[in-house]
């Protein structure tokens, strides 16, 4: 099967999309596009005789009904640079193929992440694993940045001192902070990539990894625009309702009261009415 090109994706090949202060996402290569999804679904070869509109309708049907295997025939490979704490969240998506820079072989560069001023907030009272939306006072934000900058500089200086003393790189690196930048090549099929984006573009995901997800989404939409459009409508901006919630909806249509309470009520209201109440952390 000949390689099928996506014109907008070709423009993005090898172009760095800047993320955070020192990071980036770069499309290295891709295999397949919307046409490949259609071919896999129809188990056919060549360009076929279907129109783009007909292909888009089929792709929408496949995603809407969770027929996911045709999406696995589209593969994207990225070169990404991110802080280690972001990488540790990212690596939880285990269906990818990853090759990361090794501090055993390479001397790590003096690049650590410092959050932008407007992202320095307190701990959320509702979400035990997230930030509050309200900023802390300016003097406290400055203190946070001063502490981060000071500690990052001290730890990296100690690291270089050990390197210069001839200590093994695999030992010298062990005190380096989570804010240090790492890099990897990351390859994933479109089905699993949509799952990554659904979780990491969610407003409750950490702000830093959302910036990477947004950059990857831009690239993904260029590779397979019809598939990404269907993903946006049915998964990213859509909602799944449990059988209990469906019964509540039926009751509301009959003029009955909503019998859900507590966290279930908050989640239901958020789905149905767009309320932005923070969910409680789940163990």
Q: How far apart are CA 10 and CA 159, in angstroms?
A: 40
What residues pair up with 27 in beta bridges, in sequence order?
13, 78
Active site residue 35: no
Report the C-alpha gap between 241 and 263 in whole angstroms.
Answer: 15
**Any idea which residue has 């969770």 for tokens?**
66
Give the residue among 148, 208, 143, 206 at the shortest CA–CA distance from 177. 148
> Helices H, strands E: what count in the chain?
11, 7
Count, residues in the chain: 283
Question: What is the C-alpha separation between 267 and 273, in angstroms, rounded?
Answer: 10
DSSP 232: I
**Helix, strand or coil, per DSSP, at residue 180:** strand
The span from the CA of 148 to the CA of 158, in Å, is 16
From 200, 210, 250, 265, active-site residue: 200
The answer to whether the CB of 40 falls within 8 A of the CB of 4 is no
Which residues belong to the active site? 200
């Amino acid at each position: 099967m000949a390689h099928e090109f996506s014109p907008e994706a070709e423009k993005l090949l090898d172009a760095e999309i800047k993320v955070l202060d020192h990071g980036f996402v770069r499309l290295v290569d891709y295999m397949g596009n919307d046409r490949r999804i259609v071919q896999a679904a129809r188990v056919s070869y060549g360009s076929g005789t279907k129109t783009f509109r007909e292909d888009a309708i089929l792709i929408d049907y496949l995603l809407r009904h969770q027929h996911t295997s045709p999406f696995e025939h589209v593969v994207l490979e990225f070169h990404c640079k991110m802080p280690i704490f972001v990488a540790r969240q990212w690596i939880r998506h285990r269906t990818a193929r990853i090759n990361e820079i090794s501090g055993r072989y390479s001397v790590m560069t003096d690049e650590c992440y410092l959050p932008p001023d407007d992202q320095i907030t307190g701990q959320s009272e509702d979400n035990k694993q997230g930030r509050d939306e309200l900023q802390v006072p300016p003097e406290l934000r400055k203190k946070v940045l001063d502490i981060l900058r000071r500690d990052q500089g001290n730890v990296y200086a100690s690291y270089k001192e050990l390197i210069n003393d001839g200590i093994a790189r695999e030992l010298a690196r062990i005190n380096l902070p989570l804010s240090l930048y790492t890099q990897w090549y990351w390859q994933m099929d479109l089905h699993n990539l949509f799952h990554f984006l659904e979780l990491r573009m969610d407003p409750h995901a950490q702000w830093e990894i959302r910036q990477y997800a947004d950059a990857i989404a831009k690239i993904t939409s260029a590779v397979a625009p019809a598939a990404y459009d269907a993903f946006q409508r049915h998964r990213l901006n859509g909602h799944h309702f449990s059988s209990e919630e469906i019964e509540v909806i039926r009751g509301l249509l009959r003029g009955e009261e909503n019998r859900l309470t507590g966290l279930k009520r908050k989640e239901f209201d958020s789905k149905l009415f767009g309320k932005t109440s923070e969910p409680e952390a789940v163990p």
